A and B are shown apart, each in its own frame.
Chain A
């Protein structure tokens, strides 16, 4: 069936380094993608989104890249800080309407001091 998955379950980075979290998706009809951050004991928090008609979108310290050819999504965090330690989920919504999202299982980002 269709799924959204992550390549790495855990990513450890040094404070100040850049982090890259990857996500593969299999539904070629997906037209909207979102990255969420979930800190321990809290609900998922919206970080950044991107539509399928874009390849790149930047926010504050975060960039999302979309490669539709290989169905790959990535989240780049610049100058990673201890507060970035969390689980990151990618989510997709298939085309054709409706507001449901399909979530990946998540990647744990650990920032080492």
Chain B
């Protein structure tokens, strides 16, 4: 049971480069989320998706782009990386029905360093 995976686990890039972080889940969950985690800020929502081809902005969407052509994948792209985007990025998913449908399950994270 693979669950939810993220790739790459670690990434170093330079300012101005485009970077794509991948997220894949095997549960067929409807909802998927992208968070960034920084000291002093906890988990902040970047973008989320309620289903394939449906995405919406979260708390801190500027500088990021998402797509969801398939239910199981939810890539996050930094179009032109900036140093302020150095962070740990977590992907999560949750189902759309059931007693605990709001429970989100997280991937292992991607540690991104922008030089």
The residues of A with any CB-CB pair to B shorter than 8 Å are: 32, 34, 36, 41-46, 49, 89, 93, 99-101, 103-106
Chain A hits for B94, CB < 8 A: 99
Q: List 28 A-B contacts (CB under 8 A).
A: A32-B102, A34-B103, A36-B106, A41-B109, A43-B92, A43-B106, A43-B107, A43-B108, A44-B106, A45-B106, A46-B103, A46-B104, A46-B105, A49-B100, A49-B103, A89-B42, A93-B102, A99-B31, A99-B50, A99-B94, A99-B96, A99-B101, A99-B104, A100-B58, A101-B102, A103-B42, A105-B40, A105-B41
Known: A100-B48, A104-B42. 9 other contacts (CB 8 A): A43-B90, A43-B92, A43-B108, A44-B43, A46-B103, A46-B105, A99-B96, A100-B45, A103-B43
CB distance from A52 to the nearest CB of B (A): 12
| B12-51 residues at the A interface, CB under 8 angstroms | 31, 33, 40-43, 45, 48, 50
Chain B residues within 8 Å of A, Cβ to Cβ: 31, 33, 40-43, 45, 48, 50, 58, 90, 92, 94, 96, 100-109
Q: In the bound complex, do residue A89 and residue B109 qualify as a contact, i.e. CB atoms below 8 Å apart?
A: no
Residue of A nearest to B35 (CB): A103
Query: What is the CB-to-nearest-CB distance from A105 to chain B, in angstroms, rounded to a whole number?
Result: 4
A45 vs B105: C-alpha distance in the bound complex, in angstroms? 7
When distances are taken between beta carbons in the complex, the residues of chain B under 8 Å from A105 are 40-42
Within the complex, the shortest CB–CB distance from A110 to chain B, in Å, comes to: 17
Residues of B within 8 A of A41 (CB): 109
| Cβ-closest chain B residue relative to A104 | B42
Contact A44 B90 (CB under 8 A): yes
